[in-house]
Structure 1
Amino acid sequence: MEDLKVALNDHADLVSELFEKLSAELRSGFRPAVDNFVGFFHAIDWKEPWLICLLLFHLSVLLITIISRKNVNFQLCLSMVAFTGVYLAERMNNFLGKHWKSFASQNYFDPHGLFISVLWSGPLVFMAIIIVVNTLFTLCHLIIKWKKAELRHRARLARDKQE
């Protein structure tokens, strides 16, 4: 029983410590996060041709996603391509980290994969989220159509029984 009390006290201490850290971070506001983002943004040379092509690629995929919003099968394939791109991001980061001198002015591909996560995986996940939300809206509309048809069918059956 004593061991249980000690374990509970240790757990309570750990939770209170985590809560204090979280409240301290919330009190400091978003300033450190904004500073980190601005530093990340300024560290990148946005005029490099491969970065411009990457951004144009993501813009074109976004446009294709929006234009094809009525075609559910195509959107399913597009989401699979996006998820495959996210899945392969670690391998891409390793490969591009080894060969960065052939296309970039500096090595953006750190071992933790922050750059590839932000500029490759992030937009692809965003596109996949758009596709999922669009699919949910499509499903809601289909359910509404189905229920209306079901109600019409029941009304016809009730009318036929009365006659």
Structure 2
Amino acid sequence: LRSGFAPAYDNFMGFFHAIDWKEPWLICLLALHVLLLLSAILSRKHINLQMCLFLLALSGVYFAESLNLFLSAHWQMFSTQNYFDPHGLFLSVLWSGPLLVIAILILINTLLSL
């Protein structure tokens, strides 16, 4: 079983180490996700604000492909290397993934409050 997870772990660690986590735009992206998560947690009793955050998060996921195309064409303006591959792996992991997690948390909160 351990050898079954070893290739996945090696791929993840390769992905993790290939990213320069000190780039200002990456720090801002992570801060944006933390801010959105805190907003979702702190506004859990305000259903209208929760729905706005939910739609905002899902809109971000919906436009991820267009955003990836745009960022892959203009990466020199803000980054030291091109992270934006044609398949969108980087953007899926660092943009869409956290937004989907936040949207799922909002959905669970909404269903529990019914």
Query: Partner residue of 1:47?
Result: 22
* Aligned counterparts of 1:27 and 1:115: Cα–Cα separation in 2: 26
SS at match of 1:58: helix
Classify 1:27/1:35 alpha carbon distance in 2 versus 1 (closer, same or farther; 3 Å): closer
Partner amino acid, structure 1, of 2:90: F
* Aligned counterparts of 2:100 and 2:18: Cα–Cα separation in 1: 23
Identical aligned pairs, as a percentage?
66
**Deviation digits for residues 74-94 of structure 1, max 9, x if unmatched?**
111111010100000000000
Structure 2 gap segments, 5+ residues each: none
SS at match of 2:85: coil
* Aligned counterparts of 1:31 and 1:138: Cα–Cα separation in 2: 41
> Larger RCO: Structure 1 or Structure 2 (Cα < 8 Å, ≥ 6 residues apart)?
2
Task: Give aligned pairs, total.
Answer: 114
**Deviation digits for residues 42-100 of structure 1, max 9, x if unmatched?**
00000000000000000000000000000111111111010100000000000000000
Q: Which runs of 4+ in 1 moved over 6 A?
A: none
Answering whether residue 69 of structure 2 is matched by residue 94 of structure 1, we say yes
TM-score scaled by length of structure 2:
0.96
Structure 1 gap segments, 5+ residues each: 1-25, 140-163
In our comparison, the structure showing a higher alpha carbon Rg is 1
For residues 13-92 of structure 1, what are the structure 2 equivalents within 5 Å?
Answer: 28-92=3-67
Partner amino acid, structure 2, of 1:47: K
TM-score scaled by length of structure 1:
0.68
State the superposition RMSD in angstroms. 1.1
SS at match of 2:61: helix
